[in-house]
Amino acid sequence: MKRFYPALLTLSLILSKFAPVQAQIAATPAPAVRLAITSPVTTTPASMATVNTDPSSTTQPGITYQLSSADKDIIATRDAFEKRDLKLLAVAMARFAGVPGTAHKLSQYVQYWWLSANLAKADTFATTNATEIRAFLNANPNSVVADNLRRDWLKILGKWDQWELFAAEMPWLNIEDAEISCHQWRYRLSKNDRDALTEAKSFWTAARTAPDACDDVFARLATEKMLPNTEAWLRLRTLLENNQLAQARKSALLLPNIPSNFERTTAIIGQNPALYLQRENLQAASPASVELFLFAVTRLARTDADRAASLLETRGRKLSTSDLEYAWAQVGLYGSMQHEPGALGWFERAGTFALNDIQAGWKTRAALRAGNWESVRAAIGAMTASERREPAWRYWLARATQESGNADAARTLREVLARENNFYGVLAAEEIGVPQIPVWQGWKPTRTDIDAVMQRPAIGRALAFYRLDMKAEGLREWQYGIRNMDDHELLAAAEAARVANVPDRAINTAEKTLVVHDYAQRFPTPHQADLATQARAQGLDEAWVYGLIRQESRFMADAKSRTGAMGLMQLMPATATWAAKKVSMTHFSLAKVIDVPVNLSLGSFYLRHVLDDLGHPVLATAGYNAGPGRARRWRAVGPLEGAIYAETIPFAETRDYVKKVMVNAWFYTQQAGATTRRLTEMMGTVPGSGSGNAGVSSLVSVALQNKLP
């Protein structure tokens, strides 16, 4: 049994010593939080009965919500939590627990932050204050804070072999966590439950990233010879393939006869895989030599698939048939991502090797660019059943089936897909001549409906967090609050979010409905006057701009990404500064980038610049996300169908982004009354790399005749 360090000071001692600090929280300055609303509203659920629930009304930027003293205390307490300042957290505990008039929707977080910070500061808190932790968990069942605190508590209890407390609390965990699973196996092994070894072995062979807590369990598997060489080397291959070098090196230590220079060799390969392949004398009888060679092939293929293919051809002849076919599958995978002309041929050299879903997906994309529909069908057929159900693959399978001459089977596939509200569903509906018709006047919640969802504590806490500009906490509470809601409840929650000026939650929640929909809630049109002005000034399709903003920021005017992009159109500081100079914007500062008119002005100018540079809206959409240079390099030599260009974008984020922006634009054109506009026409044909910027698409120069509502 591991021993604990001396216990922390008790709460009463902290309070008696640091009570004067209470004034610091009360006096902590906090910036005003902007809350754009459609009518005066308080934060109580009952107030929702008086708000304007008309989704066509616009928000009113510039309205400032005045923070109460309790709001300021919550903000200061969260700041103290982030700094792990136990003194101020203890003061906040006393203030919210013992002073009348400090009740707040987020008051439970004060105690949660105090408990969580103490756990982070010293592991001993997990046992010395176990009664207090359990009391909090019992008082806050089925909540975000309980789930998070229980997870953190169990990790510490497992770390220190506090099995009695661990066993009592483990059944209540609602979060999947690999580290806790490892501790649970350790606990069960302490009780001689050998089924734990079987479960741990399944985890091992799945090649999942394993936390340090699993080291002892895996070592036991090796000691008891439960890791057959074939499975062990397969795990190592998968980890190296996924570039998880630290995990691979740790796993290698459990293998018999592993070379002493294995770790050093992986580092050498990481630095210069081509040189390693040129110099290495492959030993086909040595599993380590084979796996290092295959790792080098994969590593080189990531950046230069053509060079990897050449070296595999000349240096890989000693490989067994199965290993050689695996290597060609890897070269084909990365060659497809690099749009190499030989990629499909490299896949063919993989022979009978069973492609995984990622490899099969990229073989499909290589076949699309090559116009080889039979290979499209074969590659999709090689996918797992769950992967084949993805809309993209069902759509391309329908196209390939049509090309094979089986029109009836193709129509059946399209008819099912056409019922779905996504990029491929719209394309499929157009192809069978039954275009989707979004219902813009869908089901609307009553004030009673809205009041009902606001009674859910997590929803109230989420909106309170958003009001205090604590978006991460608000998002977690919102996601928790809408669990298991039916369609009507989701639309009521979406309206509550819209009224509270949290448009991203309104849109995302409305999108979750399965049968009852409200497309006006999914595709709102805020800031219309400013957006229309800037779109006209730059000669841009208003629907396209709306579609792009919906994907960039979900209309959160103060949105800021991890990389620093800001505002509705998510402008990077350097881009905003450059655009401001180009348009001769006076008195510009980065602080102004989140102002709606400024952001729309600079963002529209930059979007026009990208469109002029690339000449096609699909290219421009990709360029806006990933950079114009990349979008240009992703073109084919000759003209390419816009949907195929989008499907074969190497970056998953950009690939998803382009599809969503373009289908967003289609929905906005429908909302504006252009009901005959086809997504197929909007995608157009992307020009080849040798044909300049003269693309074909109805979005480039055609502006909507009907203004968006």
Q: Which residues are catalytic?
A: 552
Q: What is the largest CA-CA distance in the chain?
A: 83
Instruction: In whole angstroms, give the CA distance from residue 700 to residue 703.
Output: 8
Angle of CA points 148, 153, 156, to nearest 5°: 135
Helix, strand, coil in percent for the chain, rounding step 5: 65, 0, 35
Instruction: In whole angstroms, give the CA distance from residue 435 to residue 417.
Output: 12
CB atoms within 10 A of CB 680: 16
CB burial readout 585-616, b (16+ within 10 A) else e = beebeeebbbbbebbbbbbbbbbbbbbeebbb
**Helix spans in 457-568 (H):** 457-467, 471-481, 487-499, 503-510, 519-522, 528-538, 542-552
Neighbouring residues of 53: CB distance < 8 A, sequence distance ≥ 6? 444, 445, 446, 447, 450, 495, 499
Instruction: In whole angstroms, give the CA distance from residue 149 to residue 121.
Output: 14
Q: Which two tokens stand for residue 567?
A: 């505002």
Instruction: In whole angstroms, give the CA distance from residue 350 to residue 331.
Output: 9
Bridge partners, 685 (sequence order): 641, 696
SS3 call for 41: coil
Write phi, then psi, for 89 (nearest 5 degrees).
-65, -40
CA nearest to 330, candidates 291, 369, 368: 291
Neighbouring residues of 709: CB distance < 8 A, sequence distance ≥ 6? 56, 525, 671, 672
Report how far apart, in Å, the C-alpha atoms of 361 and of each of 334, 348, 387, 403, 644 are: 12, 14, 9, 19, 13
Bridge partners, 265 (sequence order): none
Bridge partners, 566 (sequence order): 560, 571
